[in-house]
Amino acid sequence: MLNETQIHRLAAAAHALRPGWPEKSLVTFLERHHANGAVRDVAIALVWVALDEKTVTPKRMNEAGPWWSATGAGDSPSPLHFDRCPEPGHASFPANNCSACRAEQLENDQPVPTTARPEQAEINRAGAELARSQIRRQREALGEDQPEQENER
Ligand SMILES: [Zn+2]
């Protein structure tokens, strides 16, 4: 349960993070939708949502999202005995439920594979070659005699 003071403080905090969100609206929003939550959970989710650049309005908090699972990090009965996510900087999240990984996935609408598939690599290579030949043609047209400094195979 959030009391009125807590609601006003959280609204002020969110307003400080997102000056475009009027404090009064935040108070109304929190009273209406999150007054029954645990203050720590609501605070964490609110800050998470406020700091994510994909967030348009605080109403995003009403959806199920990584902002709510971020609040669960300390709730495990034996918080020291879970496997940590192996990704750099994710050590405070459990391996099977990593909020940081999900946040990163949200940032990339389509997760980019670390290694391009062979077909994609070929397309990339052909595209780069096309761009290089265009530049070369431009230079020739301009009469520039810059030395080619490409290491082509
Ligand atoms: Zn992770």
Q: Are 67 and 59 in contact (CB under 8 A)?
A: no
Q: Are 98 and 91 in contact (CB under 8 A)?
A: no
Residue 87 CA, ligand 1 centroid: distance in Å: 5
Q: Stretch 112-134: mean pLDDT, rounded?
A: 79
Has this prediction a pTM greater than 0.75? no
Residue 128 CA, ligand 1 centroid: distance in Å: 33
pLDDT of residue 79: 44
Tell me how far apart the alpha carbons of residues 49 and 68 are, in angstroms, rounded to a whole number: 10
- DSSP structure class, residue 34: T
> Predicted confidence band at 104 (pLDDT cuts at 50, 70, 90)?
confident
Of the candidates 44, 34, 52, 36, the one whose C-alpha atom is nearest the C-alpha of residue 13 is: 44
Q: Are 54 and 66 in contact (CB under 8 A)?
A: no
Q: Are 85 and 56 in contact (CB under 8 A)?
A: no
Mean of per-residue pLDDT scores for the chain: 83
> Predicted confidence band at 78 (pLDDT cuts at 50, 70, 90)?
very low
Residue 37 CA, ligand 1 centroid: distance in Å: 26
Tell me how far apart the alpha carbons of residues 118 and 114 are, in angstroms, rounded to a whole number: 12
Q: Which residues contact 83 (CB under 8 A, 6 or more apart)?
A: 94, 95, 96
pLDDT of residue 145: 58
